Amino acid sequence: MLLSAGRFAVYRAETHLFNVLLPRFGDPGHAANRSAMAEAFIRSDMFRVSGLDAGAFRREIEASCRSAGDFLRLFMEAICRAQGTDRWAETTPVHVLHVPDIKATIPDALFIHVVRDGRDVAVSMMKQGWVRPLARGSERARAGCRRLLGLGGRVGRTSVPRIREGLPQSAV
């Protein structure tokens, strides 16, 4: 729904930057970590679906990336340029666990906590080929969605300042 508002880059995958790449490769402020992270990401399905040129992305990361936030921003801005858009949304659900780190490295980041029915999440994941259409896979997706929904609510109540003026209490 958010992406349909217009001028958003369409990237129908999850980056897993803060929950997988950062713990595996460490601070991209160090050249060796940054290079290894970029190479692993470029070889992943998450990069493949972006349609970006691997060489150009690698050069941009080497030249401008000094933090995990830079890595994410550079990746998403490259997708924006390729699609002729000027806004992006990163939608890795498990990144709700990393809100303070994301905010620290992308200070102007805005967070929207979207609540979806776990069954809808499972169907969406199956349609996109991220889980197999088996009852067990869809149940795992629903359980994961329930877990992240609870964690997201707690993070939102404790970590993220809210804009209250002009919004009904239910929207804050």
Domain limits for position 54: 3-90
Write the DSSP assignment of 51-77 as a string of letters. Answer: T--HHHHHHHHHHH--SHHHHHHHHHH
**79 and 40, same structural domain?**
yes
70 occurs within a structural domain: yes
- Burial tier of 121 (Cβ tally within 10 Å: 0-12, 13-18, 19+): buried
172 occurs within a structural domain: no
Over 80: is that where the pLDDT of 163 sits?
no
8 occurs within a structural domain: yes
pTM of the shown model? 0.72
**65 and 143, same structural domain?**
no
Mean pLDDT of 17-40: 95
**148 and 70, same structural domain?**
no
Q: What percent of the chain has pLDDT over 90?
A: 46
146: Cβ contacts below 8 Å, ≥ 6 apart:
118
117 three-class SS: coil
Q: Confidence band (pLDDT; 50, 70, 90) for 165?
A: very low
